[in-house]
Amino acid sequence: MPELPETETIARDLHAAIAGSVIISVEVLRRDVLRDVSAARVRQSLTSRTVSRAWRRAKSVVLSLDHDAHLVVTPRFTGALILGAAAAEDRYACVRMGLEDGRELRYTDVRRLGTVAFLSSDAFAEWSAALGPEPLDADFTVERFSGCLRGSKRAVKAVLMDQSRLAGVGNIYANEALWRAGVRPSRRASSLTRRERATLHAELTAVLHAAVAARGTSFRDYRDAFGARGGFASQLQAYGRGGQPCTRCGLPLKSSHAIDGRATVWCAGCQQ
């Protein structure tokens, strides 16, 4: 599932490539990806609109349009926003948007678990307000991060992945940040000391920046806005490495699905 680094990569690519572009045609091929909006309204609302900005909020790519409206695309497991020449055929295309210069922006989704929403300014503000702070923002301080963790009796990994507490972090980077910080994923979030919170904050932001620099992590489905794979998989130290030696202490990494049913990988030797 595309997380913060992957959707950040897509959003940055799209902003550089289509900010200021006018959408001249819209075709909805798979209506089941639309959320709380009809295909007719999507076509009517997007046609002849200018893309003012492409950016990211949590795990979603946001296309902000003129006249205070937003197209919010959440790719989830197999979704992708692909920019390029108009394709005669794409069996997985769900929404196709033709641009005035002849290029096409397609939302494709093999399993169609992602969503496309068209939100007014007020609806967008309400949706965004339900999400936690952004880890890449300049004001995401240790104190603010501590506020996300403080008082929670849940496993620290579950709190990191709770989008209402912290936006954009998913299973890959929660595993990686906790391994880097030497914190056991099942620890109660409230049990972390001030020093542990500071270390986890530093390692979380560091791994997210490193993954953005590598243009995300691709295992099978994730592609950037031009269809290329991300390069961070070779730098993973925990996620996907259950049973392999810990690169820090050499013990075999443990693996479990006990926390929220997601794959958790950790080192029993050096994560306390």
Catalytic residue numbers, as ranges:
2-3, 59, 262
d(CA 30, CA 33): 6
Q: For residue 238, how many other CB atoms are within 10 A of its CB?
A: 27
At position 117, the amino acid (one-letter code) is: A
Residue-level length of the chain: 272
Q: In Å, how far are 240, 242, 248, 269 from 252, measured between CA atoms?
A: 13, 7, 11, 9
d(CA 127, CA 233): 31
Closest CA to 103 of 87, 88, 85, 89: 85
Reading the block at residue 2, the tokens are: 């595309």
